[in-house]
Amino acid sequence: MLNIMKTMKIIITKSPEETIKLAGKVADKLNPGDFISLIGDLGTGKTVFVKGLAKALKVEDYLYVNSPTFVIVKEYKGKMDLFHFDVYRLDIKSFCETLDYEKYFYGKGVTVVEWADKIQEVLPEEYVEVVLEHKEEDQRLIVIRGVGARYEKIADNIDWREGTGNRRQGTGDREQRRT
């Protein structure tokens, strides 16, 4: 059955701290076994987003979370395990031959994959997709979409309003919902 993406949130964060807070709001909606696809160019904040997930999942020393570019996956212990993949250097064949990814993708923790668009063919049928785009200086345009009914609800229920992640009110966060 074809999954159609119905809901997307478009959010602008103005600092790494806001991106961390936004990721925390996503993490608050997750359960063991959930999957997050991260897509974006170098420097768009994918790893910063993972730090926010780690913080919300109570990973000790979440600020030391870094991209596992050369080790492919890092495991972090928290209130839920966090499995952090970076597939930047791999193509689909190399990824599948490198490790038993299914034990992570369908395991008991939260799995997040940076550069997930490179391995689209093996992603679970349902997941949260987060696309990050660099705007200016520390601003990021972040699109959160749910693929599958449960994940559509997660995306739809991300509460990010003007001032939600700001240090001061009224700095003009933008959120849109498209159906």
What CATH number did the domain enclosing 44 receive? 3.40.50.300
DSSP letters, 22-70, are: HHHHHHTT--TT-EEEEE--TTSSHHHHHHHHHHHTT-TTGGG----TT
Confidence of residue 90 (pLDDT cuts 50, 70, 90): confident
Alpha carbon distance 106, 91 (integer Å): 21
| pLDDT at residue 170 tops 80 | no
In a domain, 74, yes or no: yes
In a domain, 90, yes or no: yes
107 residue type, one letter: G
Tokens of 26: 């996503």
- HSE toward the beta carbon, residue 24, CA cutoff 13 A: 14
Range of the domain at 49: 8-178
In a domain, 2, yes or no: no
The reported pLDDT for the residue numbered 168 is: 34
In a domain, 3, yes or no: no
Q: Give me the number of domains the chain comprises.
A: 1
Q: List pLDDT tens digits, range 34-57.
A: 999 999 999 999 999 999 999 999
In a domain, 120, yes or no: yes
The reported pLDDT for the residue numbered 63 is: 82
The reported pLDDT for the residue numbered 102 is: 92
In a domain, 41, yes or no: yes
Q: List pLDDT tens digits, range 6-15.
A: 578 999 999 9
pLDDT above 70: percentage of residues in the chain: 86
Mean residue pLDDT of the chain comes to: 86
Confidence of residue 166 (pLDDT cuts 50, 70, 90): very low
